[in-house]
Structure 1
């Protein structure tokens, strides 16, 4: 609750209108529509000034919680800022000799799979290669060149088809440094010859994620510019680069914490080199290069890290180039934003004292009307966010089912928020958050059913288009992240002892069963809890181990806390954690609001570019209209969209929750099948037909490059299922 209640601008307008005998806001000067009439419900409510007093409410659930102490910036491990390279020494081949192709070689046929060649322990480029491929759903194998010999059997199947459609080198010479300053390749000369022979015969492209622009093991037609080495620069796509990095806007992409070798073109007989990315001085940071034997190669002279912006932005274009735009899986990006605790009231931070106000905060009807306009402004201002829609994750125990549905006369309602929500029901995505936000870690089946099914019933009474298969439990409770001493006698209280991640095996089976009985199939989990997401697949959800009817959709918490309503409260809470003197001091000073948005949009951009469909979640307090047309929730979304749109034109998907759950479950089944080798495909490049096969019954499948399907960015993807085998016509790029 705001500390100094004043008469709201809306109430004042209504009072003056009544005294003057004029119609209330939203009506014309003629005959007034009847409350609840078609004309009433089809009239768009007008935006109002920020409230200075909240509507009265009784018996509304009060949500008290705890602050998530999260990373304040993207996690940067194994930074390549000191990843200096040099001219490679290639050991003479002693382990095997370059071999002739087998007599049955089918050089027009390759599996839709990529080979990643690693230099072994300490290879920081390996994580970047894996991340790029996973973000596009491309199956891959990793060969540790320091431990395994690369022979023809690693590259060609017994039937003569190629095992791989593309090859990624984590560095162009797979360098190791057995002696400081001495750079030795993990592959010997005969292994390089075997690899190059395969690439030439099967017309397989090669991507070197980082390399010293020299002559070993082969010449790309680039030479390092002496003295230009740097760990801070930027890269801008050339005209040819725009054809590879089709989604980039052309704005210079910053390169930080990554060592780079700006290069110049060098004329080499039989080699054609085309710059793709250049630094501010026009020197080359990435180029394609055609070898004398016809092999197509791409070399980047800047080091990579899976969490760095330039690596994440390049990944989409690099994978499409490597695979010629034909591969299993697809690259898709999302912007899903949930607002938890809707209809409930919540703790409210006093920025001046650091304590909570005595009276909790609940959004008003005017706040929600403003959110409608904010949402439309975001859609209209950012081409990438045309589909954007807030998800309102609601606690129906805080609504009043007797409040009328009205767009013009909500100010007469016994609960204005309920009435305006019924008016605007089709503008948002509605998700079950249980009736009263009770803790479900230890709860009997009957109570859990009342909380879950009862909230669906309230949504039905209100006429809300509620997702029928989705559930977000209060505090993500019931999934094993809990106070181990909780006995279930205080489920309606705001705080418990410290939570511990006891694993999904400690989930509440009563909650799971009650959810399934109510028709729920997808439950939100907390990505900040280790057991509630899958580290082996960064874009996958989690099948619940205790109940086959439940699939978990991880959500990202953010550093905009559950009890803040305006910028002053946002920064007061944030700085109490991350500023000097905070519980996790990270920055060298207390951040102002713009600095906070800059840091948090970095995290949001990191998540979006990671390719996962996981929602971010905020809280109803964050929807307060603190200034005309502004809320801290929409400020955060705007900051993320501004940063993303600066660099990429690839549209951001926003799905309703049931659709999101179905998508993520199908995606996870497909990714697990590809990883297990039970789903695969062979591309006949002579006929441009891909034969997709399942060895584990009916499996979902996505194929990028298909002639039919949905266009996303510059590439078309077909989505379906396969049981046995199916053939699909493709068009390579």
Structure 2
């Protein structure tokens, strides 16, 4: 049975008859709408108590672009939940204003709460699912108390699993590992309990995710569906924040469950890798000087040059092609054609590396990285450390000229054409992201950059996510923020990487620079890493875990390393292999990594920004009536949606395919067809949620049960769930933006 079918079946199990009015708590105007299929608006109600669990779900909805309304329980001026707040009638048709409800727990209100009764009646009347973001195990939610067998406490480092009845979590392969980033900080807390052997009449509990109960052969539920009194609740008995891997793995399924697989917004797992400086040689870290010859703060000789740069060999190029094919992963080669020409001039007119890469050119995507990688911002004054922008006698900043920038772009494009490389001329990455603002020395973009981009037709421009994280316009171009990986540009050997890592992330008392001490952007190592083993044992798993966090966050931004990391010890590969390997161990084949080229990433970020703006301004309307979903958005704006397999877009004549397959669903961007002002999507019969029975008796019973249920007690929340625990040096606050030791005036 497919996942979408299971979702439809679960919904159908709630009831099979037509809507009958009036239900308890519903307005009397609904009485005239008997047997009319209701309208369900595609919007989620998030009742927020300020805890990390509800905020994590809200963050997932934000990331996907799924509309929701927040009701803040801590705000005394908030609206009161009543029948009128939840539903009304539009053109004689009953309307549910929310397709799902997210609560902090199964009953966050006081005993006998009229608000909880209104919610229960509403959910019963319209078949609206309810997510209990974090609650404890007890009979009121279909579970035994967490005792005999049972467990209450930390799950740090434990491995949960998707059950055979995977429900909406069928996109996972099986295991759901819980993070354990610090031995001294609690990061998770859970109640593990078994379902009641004898449920109340008509009630059932189906566990979707469980974990072994310590000291027992039983397994306790962590996520499960409790069906009762004509309602469905998703019971989650562990706490989490939006950054933790266990939540990232389950977030998609939570949303699909609550929306019954029908919602605005989409969530995919993205990973693209940019290899900077291809065909150049990168300066090498000097472990004696604790700096990089060629950098302004590490002059060696009168020409400030590095006598031993790192450059890939033909054998490294051959290995790259073989690795790419074996792993089914295409990297982006950010090339500098002038590097090859300089190498030829110094080595008898030949460049075996370029010859090999060009022979394998179709194995990669090629991106213009300028011809010789000069600094394209202000003219740097390197007579001081740190460098500053050169100025005229009147104090005006001296900028790299439009002619020089344009030549760098055009010469590199010409070189690619001469060597048969296919290059998208709209894409550009400048050396060190130069030309763009960099604080504190250059707070403005080089004004000549925008005019050069116009002259060369560049519309996609790479930037550094660690210092310029939002996509923005630069002349005709939109930036693509890139995540820097903590595999340094100036390391070809593992020992060099570890030595520099120690220098940056070790206290002065331990022989390091002390930069990490008191830093707001990095933390210190407890002790220096062993240069022989530290890379494999510490840096690789740390960096892979951080980067995998980006992949699981519906974030299309690419990552970048340098060609030096694919030479000599080839230190980039262990990180890449762990990212890809861990991903394959977690996800089913239906949910592959999406690897986009830079222009497509730019387009995705741009469409998301426009969509998010329209959603937050309440300019998007979407609803479902039976098997038909209607989406209306501002003219010219594409909408994003996720729908069950088999969904098609209705045109004036006939239908056309909708979206692309991913994680057992269809999702994608969609616009109205010819001569249409809105998008109409048609669901298959199997995927259409059944219209529920909402008799006065059943709604009254559900409301009475909700009133009788004791409110959930205050639940324990460990420090690591309220204040996310960093993975390690360079990852404070789980923002995943590492300090990267970058080049400065190296050429």
TM over 0.5: yes
The 2-side partners of 1:635 and 1:691 are apart by 47
Q: Which one of the candidate residues 629, 642, 645 is aligned to 1:690?
A: 629
Is contact 2:611–2:637 with CA below 8 Å preserved after alignment? no
* Residue 67 of structure 1: aligned partner: none
Give the CA deviation at 1:186.
7.2
Partner in structure 2 of residue 447 of structure 1? 404
Which residue matches 1:16?
none
Please name the residue that 1:52 is paired with.
Answer: none
Of 206, 216, 240 in structure 2, the residue corresponding to residue 274 of structure 1 is: 206
* Equivalent position to 1:131, from 41, 45, 59: 59
For 1:587 and 1:658, how far apart are their aligned partners in 2? 38
* Partner residue, 1:286: 223
Partner of 1:225: 147
Contact 1:146 1:186 in 2 (8 A): no
1:605, distance to aligned residue in structure 2 (A): 1.2
User: How big is the shift at 1:414?
Assistant: 1.3
Aligned length: 572
Tell me, yes or no, if structure 1 residue 560 matches structure 2 residue 487.
yes
**Alignment partner, residue 87 of structure 2:** 156
Q: Is the Cα–Cα contact under 8 Å of residues 160 and 178 in structure 2 kept in the other structure?
A: no
Question: Partner of 1:593 in structure 2?
Answer: 535
Measure the CA separation in 2 of the matches of 1:440 and 1:157: 60
Give me the CA root mean square deviation: 2.7
CA contact (8 A) 1:470 1:661 kept: no
Give the deviation of 1:374 after TM superposition.
1.7
Q: Is 1:243 the equivalent of 2:174? A: no
- 1:79 corresponds in structure 2 to none
Bigger relative CO (Cα 8 Å, ≥ 6 apart): 2
Q: Is the 8 A contact 2:143 2:193 kept in 1?
A: no
Counterparts in 2 of 1:621 and 1:238: CA distance versus 1, 3 Å: closer
| 1:624, distance to aligned residue in structure 2 (A) | 0.1
Q: Which residue of 1 aligns with 2:326?
A: 377
Matched, 1:145 2:73: yes
Q: 1:671 aligns with which of 612, 628, 636?
A: 612
User: Is 1:652 equivalent to 2:602 in the alignment?
Assistant: no
2:356 aligned to which of 420, 423, 434:
420
Distance 2:409 2:270 in 1: 27
- Distance (Å, rounded) in 2 between the aligned partners of 1:374 and 1:187: 62
The residue that corresponds to 1:510 in the other structure is: 448
2:114 aligned partner: 190
Please give the alpha-carbon distance, in whole angstroms, between the structure 1 residues aligned to 2:171 and 2:568. 34
Query: For 1:333, what is the secondary structure of its paired residue?
Result: coil
Residues 361-416 of structure 1, C-alpha deviations (whole Å, 9 max, x = no match): 2222222112111212222xxxxxxxx21111112221339989xxxxxx996122
- Is 1:725 aligned to residue 666 of structure 2? no
Q: 1:323 to 1:700 in 2, by over 3 A?
A: closer
2:638 corresponds to which residue? 699
**1:426-451 Cα distance to aligned partner (Å, 9 max, x none):** 11111111222222233332222122
- CA shift for structure 1 position 340: 0.7
Three-state SS of the structure 2 residue aligned to 1:310 is helix
Q: Aligned partners of 2:456, 2:126: CA distance in 1, in Å?
A: 54
Aligned to 2:39, what secondary structure does the other structure show?
Answer: strand
Instruction: Give the distance between the partners of 1:378 and 1:255, measured in 2 at CA.
Output: 26
**Secondary structure, in 3 states, of the residue corresponding to 1:229?**
strand
- Quote how far apart the aligned CAs of 1:634 are: 1.8
Query: Is 1:574 the counterpart of 2:511 in the alignment?
Result: no
Partner of 2:715: none
Separation (CA, whole Å) in 2 of partners of 1:374 and 1:359: 27
1:200 is matched with: 124
The Cα of 1:290 is off from its aligned counterpart by 0.4
Q: Deviations over 1:656-701 (max 9, x none)?
A: 22233223323332333223322331111x2x11111113444343
Pair 1:332-2:268 in alignment: yes
Unaligned runs of 5+ in 1: 1-96, 175-184, 380-387, 405-410, 487-501, 535-541
User: 2:409, 2:343 → 1: CA distance?
Assistant: 20
Aligned 8 A contact 1:119 1:170 in 2? yes
Change (3 A) 1:238 1:365: closer
Aligned 8 A contact 2:42 2:99 in 1: yes
Under a length normalisation based on structure 2, what TM-score does the superposition of the two structures give? 0.72
1:263 aligns with 193
Is 1:524 the equivalent of 2:436?
no
> Which whole-Å CA distance do the structure 1 matches of 2:45 and 2:111 have between them?
15
1:465, CA displacement in angstroms?
0.8
Which deviates more, 583-592 or 256-265? 583-592
CA contact (8 A) 2:162 2:175 kept: no
- The superposition leaves residues 194-227 of structure 1 with CA deviations (integer Å, 9 ceiling, x where unpaired) of 1111111111111112112236xx5444433277
Q: CA deviation at 1:617?
A: 0.2
**CA spacing shift, 1:605–1:694, aligned 2, 3 Å:** same
**Per the alignment, do residues 702 and 279 of structure 1 end up closer, same or farther by CA in structure 2, a change over 3 Å counting?**
closer
- In the TM superposition, 1:88-103 aligns within 5 A as 98=25, 100=27, 102-103=29-30
Aligned equivalent of 2:660: 710
- Kindly indicate whether the alpha-carbon contact (under 8 Å) linking 1:225 and 1:261 is maintained by their aligned counterparts in 2: no
- TM-score, normalised with respect to structure 1: 0.73
